[in-house]
Structure 1
Amino acid sequence: MATPFTGEGERRKGSVELRALAARRLRPVADRGAPGRVNRPLLATLGELGLLSRVVPLAGPVRALDLCLLRESLAYSCTEAETALALQGLGAHPVVAHGNRAQRARWLPEIAAGRAVAAFALSEPGAGSDAAALELRAEPAGAVSGVAAGAVGWRLHGEKRWISNAPQADVYTVFARTGPGSRAAGVTAFLVPADRPGLGGEPLEMLGPHPLGTLTFDGVPVGPGDVVGEVGRGFRLAMATLDLFRPSVGAFAVGMARAALDASVAHAGERRAFGGPLKDLQAVSHLLAEMATRTEAAGLLVQAAATAYDAGEPGVAARSAMAKLFATETAQYVVDSAVQIHGARALARGHLLEHLYREVRAPRIYEGASEVQRTIIAKELYR
């Protein structure tokens, strides 16, 4: 079973090992999957290799630095494996951190083994970047048959959209309004199995290849045993989850940037034009230098944010936002520059950079768009 890495030297060694493991064991399984759909054999392989247990631990917290190492290393060699691992961790983390004994016993071993697919259901048609505007209703329903065991329950009404792993997941962490408060007040998190009556959904066809869809709730029954954490405190739980995962989105971006940079360095050293290799052209060499510098800076910012999270230091929200903002914007620049260096061949279907060019766009939007990250950072400056 894979174990966390500690110390800079061990982390570097671990990164090299994970890149090789992803290329050897995960890339072939990913290639057999259908784009935009959950790849269950890939999840099973991630579980078999012990990688999922590091983001869905049965005991103890998730270490942000270890999560970042995993996501950056996997992204370098197999973005599909990186995304599958990250989405499992994101969907399960509320249960890891706040789930009751029954929820943990029922779901965490299955999710960590890759036998069950988890999803984090926060966004809605009118509540994407402005997550506090969510409108999914949890209406009191008295005794809910088969769920609440005679206790007071709720029925969920509304829609979620842009939900990763939907509608193919086996269990969803769903955020809904149980109280009269507006914005962040009155939101509760529920753990909702996919077989609950009234729960439906459809896949969405997106630019990037990872699974995304809608969920519809037509009186879906939930009870006290489905509540994750405390009633009315679900929004805080959601934001705490994102504080952990935002630096690792940056790590995902850094992994893609490093892959694009290495491909560009190799190409510029081999490709001949105007009487010599591309690397001898100042325009190209200076562009490579800028790509390398920005990528290194992004990696250090991600590492600093993750280290601060693990140490419980103040200002984690701002540091997480900075890491995601800078790393995702940097990756967009680096991948775009890599395409420019490679020329038309990079636009051919199946080329590494064609794949990265589609993959790199979404992280600037999900888990808080770049503009939202700037707003968070600015607010934290005056806190």
Structure 2
Amino acid sequence: LDVRSLCLIREILARHDALADFAFAMQGLGMGAVSLFGSSEQLEWLEKTRAGAAISGFMLTEPGAGSDVAATASSAQKIQGGWVLNGEKTYISNGGIADIYVVFVRTGEAPGAKGLSAFLMPALVTGLEVVERIEVIAPHPLAHLRMTDVHLPEGALIGKAGDGFKIAMSVLDVFRSTVGAAALGFARRALEEALARVKARRIQGAVLSELQMVQGHLADMAVQIDAAALLIYRSAWIKDQGAARVSREAAMAKLYATEAAQKVIDMAVQLHGGDGVRSGVVVEALYREIRALRIYEGASDVQRVVIARSMLG
């Protein structure tokens, strides 16, 4: 699938069911590195995930590093016939339920980002344990994982040693745009719910939608949604045209779409009045779902740094 197709799928899924979007997206994120850089043997796992026979996970974030990939502390030591991995990863989607993980660790070819490598790690390897299952406001399978002397064969290395940062950023270039698309789906659903509410709700003898203040809010919501869509599909189109990297465009798409969706959903909650925070109401669920999208796969302030650095050179 091209990136525009991935964005369309996530937008549509998120508009109807956040958990369906999460399941689709995490399979793609987990196998993104294999799809782009994997060997023929590693691609067998891609086929399993496509068929729904395996669940994948993407092990990048660390307790002490957060979005700073270059500060990764988990390590892999080269030994005869393979590698030994040690370290901890946190907020790992599908953590504890995945069958296969792509994990990023330090192999030491160079300082900082240039000393990272990516490995394909089966969940059943000896030494991989779930430290904590993490509960969040919008329930999803997340976990803190620990690797203690995990032995992997040489064939587990994805690409070349030292290519880990490049691999991670290539995957995120694709999926950051799709995070924006998921936020767009949430926002579109919120606007639909808000429109239905204000057309039906009466206050002081008038239909809510007849009030100019309410109309102004609806207009702002529509503008934010369309602006987000343009940034998302611009980023996807540039990538689909063969651009090697779209870090700036993807960062703009994710930043604006997630922040705008938060505002749109917040206004939808406000237009629902007390029912907007009532458990089981659609906009209440959307309000919980959107919050994490402003954090994972690079928090909003990280996206601002990416955009600024691309301009400063």
TM interval, short-chain normalised: over 0.9
1:125 aligns with 2:38: no
Identity among equivalent positions (%) equals: 46
Pairing partner for 2:104 from 159, 163, 175: 175
SS at match of 2:108: coil
Whether the 8 Å CA contact 1:315–1:380 is kept in 2: the answer is no
Whether the 8 Å CA contact 1:75–1:82 is kept in 2: the answer is yes
1:138 aligns with 2:76: yes
Moved more, 314-323 or 302-311: 314-323
Pairing partner for 2:175 from 227, 232, 245: 245
SS at match of 1:203: strand
SS at match of 2:112: coil
1:73 aligns with 2:15: no
1:86 aligns with 2:16: no
Moved more, 346-355 or 169-178: 346-355
Q: Distance in 1 between matches of 2:214 and 2:61?
A: 41
Q: How many angstroms does 1:348 deviate by?
A: 1.2
SS at match of 1:215: strand
- Number of equivalent positions: 312
Q: For residue 104 of structure 1, what is the aligned residue in structure 2?
A: 43
Whether the 8 Å CA contact 2:198–2:208 is kept in 1: the answer is yes
Moved more, 199-208 or 91-100: 199-208
SS at match of 1:217: strand
Whether the 8 Å CA contact 1:75–1:81 is kept in 2: the answer is yes
The C-alpha deviation readout for 1:279-306, integer Å capped at 9, x for no partner, is 1111111001100111111011101110
| Unaligned residue ranges in structure 1 (runs of 5+) | 1-61, 143-150
Q: How many angstroms does 1:382 deviate by?
A: 2.5
Q: Distance in 2 between matches of 1:199 and 1:290?
A: 48
Moved more, 322-331 or 201-210: 201-210
Q: For residue 166 of structure 1, what is the aligned residue in structure 2?
A: 95
Q: Distance in 1 between matches of 2:53 and 2:242?
A: 32
Q: Distance in 2 between matches of 1:241 and 1:348?
A: 37
Q: Distance in 2 between matches of 1:317 and 1:251?
A: 16
> Which one-letter code corresponds to 2:107 in the other structure?
T
CA RMSD in angstroms, aligned pairs only: 1.1
TM-score normalised according to structure 2 size: 0.97
Q: For residue 362 of structure 1, what is the aligned residue in structure 2?
A: 292
Q: How many angstroms does 1:349 deviate by?
A: 1.1
Q: Distance in 1 between matches of 2:23 and 2:42?
A: 22
Q: Distance in 2 between matches of 1:211 and 1:189?
A: 22
Q: Distance in 1 between matches of 2:137 and 2:176?
A: 21
Q: For residue 56 of structure 1, what is the aligned residue in structure 2?
A: none
Q: For residue 51 of structure 1, what is the aligned residue in structure 2?
A: none
Q: Distance in 2 between matches of 1:131 and 1:340?
A: 38
1:210 aligns with 2:148: no
The C-alpha deviation readout for 1:103-146, integer Å capped at 9, x for no partner, is 112x122100112000110000011111211100112332xxxx
Whether the 8 Å CA contact 1:125–1:160 is kept in 2: the answer is yes
Moved over 6 A (4+): none
Q: Distance in 2 between matches of 1:227 and 1:280?
A: 62
Q: Distance in 2 between matches of 1:115 and 1:330?
A: 36
Q: For residue 188 of structure 1, what is the aligned residue in structure 2?
A: 117
Whether the 8 Å CA contact 2:109–2:161 is kept in 1: the answer is no
Q: Distance in 1 between matches of 2:190 and 2:21?
A: 16
Q: Distance in 1 between matches of 2:64 and 2:165?
A: 16
Q: How many angstroms does 1:209 deviate by?
A: 1.6
Q: Distance in 1 between matches of 2:206 and 2:294?
A: 37
Q: For residue 150 of structure 2, what is the aligned residue in structure 1?
A: 220
The C-alpha deviation readout for 1:310-351, integer Å capped at 9, x for no partner, is 012476111100000000000000000000000111211111
SS at match of 2:41: helix
The C-alpha deviation readout for 1:147-202, integer Å capped at 9, x for no partner, is xxxx2x22111100011000110000000111153220211100000010000113
Q: How does 1:255-270 map to 2 (within 5 A)?
A: 255-270=185-200
SS at match of 1:250: helix
Task: Tell which has more relative contact order, 1 or 2 (C-alpha 8 A, sep 6+).
Answer: 2
> Which one-letter code corresponds to 1:120 in the other structure?
F
Q: How many angstroms does 1:224 deviate by?
A: 1.2
Q: For residue 376 of structure 1, what is the aligned residue in structure 2?
A: 306
> Which one-letter code corresponds to 1:187 in the other structure?
L
Q: How many angstroms does 1:204 deviate by?
A: 0.6
Q: Distance in 1 between matches of 2:265 and 2:108?
A: 45
| Cα 1:382–1:284 shift into 2, 3 Å | same
Q: Distance in 1 between matches of 2:150 and 2:127?
A: 5
Q: Distance in 2 between matches of 1:313 and 1:182?
A: 27
TM-score normalised according to structure 1 size: 0.80
Q: How does 1:253-292 map to 2 (within 5 A)?
A: 253-292=183-222
Q: How many angstroms does 1:361 deviate by?
A: 0.3
Q: Distance in 2 between matches of 1:131 and 1:352?
A: 35
Pairing partner for 2:280 from 328, 350, 356: 350
